[in-house]
A and B are shown apart, each in its own frame.
Chain A
Amino acid sequence: MSTLEIKDLHVAVNTDEGQKELLHGVNLTIKSDETHAIMGPNGSGKSTLSYAIAGHPKYEVTSGSVTLDGEDVLEMSVDERARAGLFLAMQYPVEVPGVSMSNFLRTAATAVRGEAPKLRHWVKEVKESMGALDIDPAFAERSVNEGFSGGEKKRHEILQLDLLNPKFAILDETDSGLDVDALRVVSEGVNRYREDGGHGIMLITHYTRILKHIKPDFVHVFAGGKVVESGGPELADKLEEEGYVAYTGNKKEAATV
């Protein structure tokens, strides 16, 4: 049983006009075998939260804490956080020209597992995982994310989730830009990870449609840089009905697609 605990987290970015605070005291605790949906309108700070947990250099934690089983995550480098068991599926996965997907996956697996996977097992493992996500084996020899469509990038994020098998997965708008088939395939991948047991999920989304595929245990509404309401799955239904208007005062912000 693992616990990811976020306490009174304040995060800022440096802009030309000086430091600007984006998160104003986020509190959230996720345990193994729990799926938390973080829902909120654009610009509410959802992605900032995910980047801050992963350690993106652009975001500065000004106060508060993030701990993983009591260990101070904020003291760790980006790669140490990943090796400690945190995984961020990115909204915009980065292209790395000249580095093949297969080389990247093996290097990452070696780093996270602490030893190079045995080649024969590894090849089989990657092949099965790619197959389950409907990824053409030819992608293994292509440069990381280079020229991939939005859907292909997201499938590869979930491929990495499967192979790296972290304690906690933060999925940052993994559903955005996916067509119906891709959404199903990606959701099935996330559900396999969830059913493996011992895994916690933070599912960040703007829309409710992915929650039809991945059922959350808890739903949190994120607005203005913090959690403004928490509840069970029924809160998502309410958002689908009413949108974010109650939290933003903006009638145009609908939670449904």
Chain B
Amino acid sequence: MSTNVAEAAEAVVPEVSKGERFRSYDVDAFEVPGGREEDWRFTPMRRLRGLHDGSAEPSGSATVEVIGEASVETVDRTDSRLGEAGIPGDRIAAQAYSAFETATVVSVPAETKLEGPVTVTVTGPGTDQVAYGHIQVRAERFAEATVVLDHRGSGIYADNVEIVAGDGAKLSVVVVTDWADDAVHVSAQHTKLGRDATLRHTLVALGGDLVRVSPTVQFSQPGADAELDGLYFADAHQHFEHRLFVDHAVPNCRSNVVYKGALQGVDAHTVWIGDVLIRAAAEGTETFELNRNLVLTQGARADSVPNLEIETGEIVSAGHASATGRFDDEQLFYLQARGIPEDQARRLVVRGFFHELLMKIDVPEVRERLESAIEAELEAVGA
């Protein structure tokens, strides 16, 4: 389903616009969510392990290691750059902001192009341990870089990730959540783009008990381009939630969202919320968002909620599409009718489903790791 400009211009703006959402650094400024609020209605609150109600006291720390050519600083909360990309918009993000001890700032100097990727490895605090973190990735004006945020290990972890792309910068950030089975991770990822900046944000969710990532994109100047891609593969009992908010507040920016997920096993649950707001000033906006889910077995559930708010008709295009389906039996029949055994045919179809996104990941090591992770997931159910 796609919304054309004429129809879109008539869309009713809900009373409470996503653009008006409350934001604060202060955890106590937010009420403790009970689970019925719009923001939390899909999240199994019990499995948040107290991140949302103040009971999760920090008991350990996540380690952050950075490999690559970027400059790396460990700073405290007085650093004036912190908060530049965005202010926490929910209680857990505010909790993380209130509780982190040191922040890691990874920056790429102006007019510098890094050849290889920068890898930031975040290792969880350990089983049943709680930690809060803060990471800022900065590409100064006309810088070009690829940064991988790789999450591994165990524990309960909430953080704010800030991504700042200066004027004309080209930044690719690949976020991999490859946690151990017990891990709980709630991450607010604030992105701010300067004039003519290009950002590609790729989220890859593979492991963890509950992983909830909320990327927000804020355009501060015209001409910027944001590409948000996501791949997720949820197994039995895993909850992967993605809440996107793209805020078109200035003219002539472009955003494109493509999230694809596969689910298998009992109580595998994925959530995709795609909110796009085109404010009155954002003439010439071009935006599209797409979510596709492939449900491989019984008992898995995918929720998908696209939402487009449009306050001006003077835009290039705006639309969204969402589809959740089971395996296409016709595709399987076709492949099998050419002699390909069923398990192999299923693998071909799933690999094909993720193909366009995999090909866009510009770090070969990450891409290969994902390909083998997908293979391993499929082997696991004997698909």
Q: Which residues from chain A contact B356 at a C-beta distance below 8 Å?
A: 97-98
Contact B333 A143 (CB under 8 A): no
Q: Does A191 contact B (CB under 8 A)?
A: no
With A78-B333, A107-B344 as known contacts, state yes or no: A96 contacts B338, CB within 8 Å.
no
* Cβ-neighbour of A96 out of B329, B331, B341 (below 8 A): B331
Contact A97 B342 (CB under 8 A): no
Interface residues of A in 96-147 (CB under 8 A from B): 96-99, 103-104, 107-108, 111-112, 143-144
Q: Which residues from chain A contact B328 at a C-beta distance below 8 Å?
A: 94
Q: Which residues from chain B contact A96 at a C-beta distance below 8 Å?
A: 331, 334-335, 348-349, 352
Question: Which single residue of chain B is at the shortest CB-CB distance from A54?
Answer: B337
Q: Does B351 contact A (CB under 8 A)?
A: yes
The interface-forming segment of A20-28, A39-47, A82-90, A205-213 is A82-90
Chain A interface bracket (under 10, 10 to 19, 20 to 34, 35 or more): 20 to 34
Min C-beta distance of B335 to chain A, whole Å: 7
Q: Which residues from chain B contact A54 at a C-beta distance below 8 Å?
A: 337
Q: Is the interface of B mostly helix, strand, loop or mixed?
A: helix
Q: Does B381 contact A (CB under 8 A)?
A: no
Interface residues of B in 315-366 (CB under 8 A from A): 328-331, 333-342, 344-345, 348-349, 351-356
Contact A107 B340 (CB under 8 A): yes
Contact B344 A143 (CB under 8 A): no
Q: What is the total number of residues of chain B having a CB less than 8 Å from a CB of chain A?
A: 24
- Most chain A CB inside 10 Å of its own CB: which residue of B333, B348, B349, B355: B333
CA distance A108 to B348 in the complex (A): 11
Contact A164 B339 (CB under 8 A): yes
Question: Which single residue of chain A is at the shortest CB-CB distance from B354?
Answer: A98
Contact A97 B339 (CB under 8 A): no
Min C-beta distance of A85 to chain B, whole Å: 10
Contact B351 A164 (CB under 8 A): no
Interface positions of A (Cβ within 8 A of B):
54-57, 77-79, 81-83, 87-88, 90, 93-99, 103-104, 107-108, 111-112, 143-144, 160, 164
Interface positions of B (Cβ within 8 A of A):
328-331, 333-342, 344-345, 348-349, 351-356
Q: Show 10 A/B contacts (Cβ-Cβ < 8 Å), sorted by A.
A: A54-B337, A55-B337, A78-B342, A79-B339, A94-B331, A94-B333, A98-B355, A99-B348, A104-B335, A112-B338
